[in-house]
């Protein structure tokens, strides 16, 4: 019985680790795809967790809400910061750059 609690804690930690790796892959794919669609360069091929908390998804199930930050560039000479939010495995928010900025850049 004394081993049951440490084993349960270890199992929960392992589950959280694999769940975080899976969510990170979803975030990487979403960030990369968004940059490709907008003609931007996804820099460093990485995302970093900036916030983690509990939230409810659309079905009302309690899950993790993870906010990620990443960097991208319009022309390869600058670095801009983007962000995306996952609730469970669903991307609920993704921000790269306002379209107006790209339109103004192309007018010059």
What SS3 class is residue 82? strand
CA atoms within 13 A on the CB side of 98: 4
Band (16; pLDDT cuts 50, 70, 90): very high
Determine the pLDDT at residue 98: 64
Domain ranges, ordered by start, for the chain: 4-107
The stretch 46-74 carries a mean pLDDT of: 95
Per-residue pLDDT tens over the stretch 68-107: 999 999 888 889 999 999 999 999 999 987 654 443 333 3
CB atoms within 10 A of CB 101: 11
Band (2; pLDDT cuts 50, 70, 90): confident
Of 12-26, 44-58, 91-105, give the lowest mean pLDDT range.
Answer: 91-105
pLDDT at residue 26 greater than cutoff 70: yes
């Amino acid at each position: 019985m004394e081993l049951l609690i440490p084993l349960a804690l270890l199992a929960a930690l392992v589950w959280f680790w694999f769940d975080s790796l899976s969510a990170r892959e979803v975030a990487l794919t979403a960030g990369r795809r968004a940059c490709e669609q907008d003609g931007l360069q996804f820099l460093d091929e990485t995302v970093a967790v900036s916030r983690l908390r509990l939230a409810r998804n659309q079905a009302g199930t309690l899950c993790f809400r993870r906010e990620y930050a990443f960097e991208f560039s319009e022309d390869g000479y600058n670095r801009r910061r983007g962000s995306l939010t996952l609730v469970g495995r669903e991307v609920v928010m993704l921000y790269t750059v306002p379209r107006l900025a790209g339109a103004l850049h192309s007018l010059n």
